[in-house]
Structure 1
Amino acid sequence: MIIDSHQHFWKYNPKKHAWIDDSMSVIQRDFLPSDLQPVYAENGVDGCVAVQADQTLEETDFLLELAHKNDFIKGVVGWIDFRSVAVEHDLEKYASDKKLKGYRHIVQGEEDHNFLLQPDFSNGISKLEKYNTVYDILIFPHQLGATLEFVKKFPNQKFVIDHMAKPYIKNGYYEGWAVLMKEIAKYENVSCKLSGMITEADYHHWTPEQIHPYMELVLSSFGPDRCMYGSDWPVCLIAGNYSQVLQLTTNYINTLSATEQNAIMGQNAVTFYDL
């Protein structure tokens, strides 16, 4: 069983999706379930978790609507404003929807390096545990210090780091990222997605060998029981096709036991997101 723990859908809007600049022109269009289904059929993928790409409640509703119409979308990671006084109202609103599995904020886009530690944001996160809902951490490496303090504050909250915290693979930077990732991995309530890797390398000249040291650090630190495969489709199309992304992970983990491989490629996502 293969479960893709991280992919996106959108109806492209140049203003709303301003982060998709001209270097990413290949994804400046709509991406919907009808685009992804044949890709999954070709690659033997059984299902996925759709993750928010826009910070609105409308985005959460859009993804949930797609999930209810398409059985292969097993769960949704949506968005609510954790800084809002209405946070509990919003959590209550989505609590009854069986496809809503978690939430995410685009922390990588926040100028404050310590955004995760802001009191109003932390207050919102503190409400999650009651609803048995997970939280996806989307950050850049310079935000790892705040992330370490953040996960310490919530020992009973299930977290997952998206895209291995986006290490600067293209520039070969490793040590600072590695030190903090190892520290964060000591907290057993934190998992990590083997996702978003080829787009952190050189779009046109990346090789698996350049990416392997980063994968090795994550696998050795978090262990096979806290790592999960994700494609980051359609963003991955900037630097490669779906098969290349899938094979990057499957080829790398092929020396692990069958049980460990199955965990990384699907079972960990099922368990983590309660799919």
Structure 2
Amino acid sequence: MNIDSHQHFWKYEPVKHAWIDEDMAVIRRDFLPEDLKKVYQENDIDGSVAVQADQTLAETDFLLDLADQNDFIKGVVGWADLRSNAIDAVMEKYSAEKKLKGWRHIVQGEADHNFLMRPSFLKGISLLEKYGHVYDILIFPHQLGAALEFVKQFPNQKFVIDHIAKPYIKDGFFEGWAILIKEIARYENVYCKLSGMITEADYKTWTPQQIIPYMDWVLNVFGPDRIMYGSDWPVCLVAGNYGQVKQLVVDFIAPLSDGERMAIMGGNAIEFYDL
């Protein structure tokens, strides 16, 4: 199966979605399952993991409702305040939701570089294993140092780095990101998504040749068993179309074996998220 490990839905609200700036105006509208279903039919995608874009429990419920109504949504990564004293009760409540696979916090938006290492947050993360939930790490490169210390704390917890940690492809920055990604990849409970890359390059002028070195590094340090394809739809539409995003990864992994390609395009996501 071809599984898109990373996509979003929303009913566009200017205040709630203030992060969608002028340069991203093309995605200032609703994006719902009926829109994505057509895209998947055109691009031979069998299912997806829907990931939170808003930091509310209402967002988690919204995605779970959509997943209940649409078989192609195989899993949901929701949001809950992992720093809350009540987080255990919240997780207990959601433990009956079979399509809820894990959680994410928009750490990239936190001014505190060491947000991941705050005791209240670590306490919340420590509960995930009990419920069989994974955690998506959404960070910028300057937060990779904290992420390295973070993953060291939880050797049995499954983590995945979203969007290869958003390296500054547009500026050609590579070395600092590469050193820390390699260190994080030493921890075998950490996976990485080949997603969100064209939007870290120049929206209008990006080429596959600019992005290949980053994908190559991720493949080398994580190996084909711990990376997974993701589109970041509809955010990807600010810099291209779905076909371009998928083809970027398909062309890159073309020299690999059949088994490795199948793992990256779906098998690893099925295993990681227990789809």
Q: Per the shorter chain, which TM-score range?
A: over 0.9
Structure-2 residue corresponding to 1:100: 100
Structure-1 residue corresponding to 2:12: 12
| Partners of 1:262 and 1:107 in 2: CA distance | 30
| Partners of 2:33 and 2:120 in 1: CA distance | 35
Structure-1 residue corresponding to 2:118: 118
Structure-2 residue corresponding to 1:223: 223
1:143 CA drift (Å): 0.1
1:194 CA drift (Å): 0.1
Structure-2 residue corresponding to 1:254: 254
Structure-2 residue corresponding to 1:69: 69
2:28 maps to amino acid: Q
Structure-1 residue corresponding to 2:171: 171
| Partners of 1:203 and 1:21 in 2: CA distance | 13
Q: Alignment identity in percent?
A: 73
1:77 CA drift (Å): 0.1
* Number of equivalenced pairs: 275
| Partners of 2:9 and 2:104 in 1: CA distance | 15
1:259 CA drift (Å): 0.1
1:54 CA drift (Å): 0.1
Structure-1 residue corresponding to 2:149: 149
User: Per-residue displacement from partner, 1:237-268 (whole Å, max 9, x unpaired)?
Assistant: 00000000000000000000000000000000
- The 3-state SS of whatever aligns with 1:157 is coil
| Partners of 1:36 and 1:132 in 2: CA distance | 28
1:150 CA drift (Å): 0.1
TM-score (norm 2): 1.00
| Partners of 1:16 and 1:169 in 2: CA distance | 28
Structure 1: stretches of 5+ with no match in the other structure: none
Q: Does 1:3 align with 2:3?
A: yes
RMSD across aligned positions (CA): 0.3
User: Per-residue displacement from partner, 1:33-78 (whole Å, max 9, x unpaired)?
Assistant: 0000000000000000000000000000000000000000000000
Structure-1 residue corresponding to 2:271: 271
Structure-2 residue corresponding to 1:197: 197
| Partners of 1:117 and 1:81 in 2: CA distance | 15
Moved segments of 4+, more than 4 Å: none
1:273 CA drift (Å): 0.2
Q: Does 1:244 align with 2:244?
A: yes
| Partners of 2:95 and 2:160 in 1: CA distance | 20
| Partners of 2:123 and 2:179 in 1: CA distance | 28
- The 3-state SS of whatever aligns with 2:225 is helix
| Partners of 2:165 and 2:78 in 1: CA distance | 19
| Partners of 1:32 and 1:96 in 2: CA distance | 24
1:75 maps to amino acid: G
TM-score (norm 1): 1.00
1:100 maps to amino acid: L
- The 3-state SS of whatever aligns with 1:251 is helix
1:234 CA drift (Å): 0.1
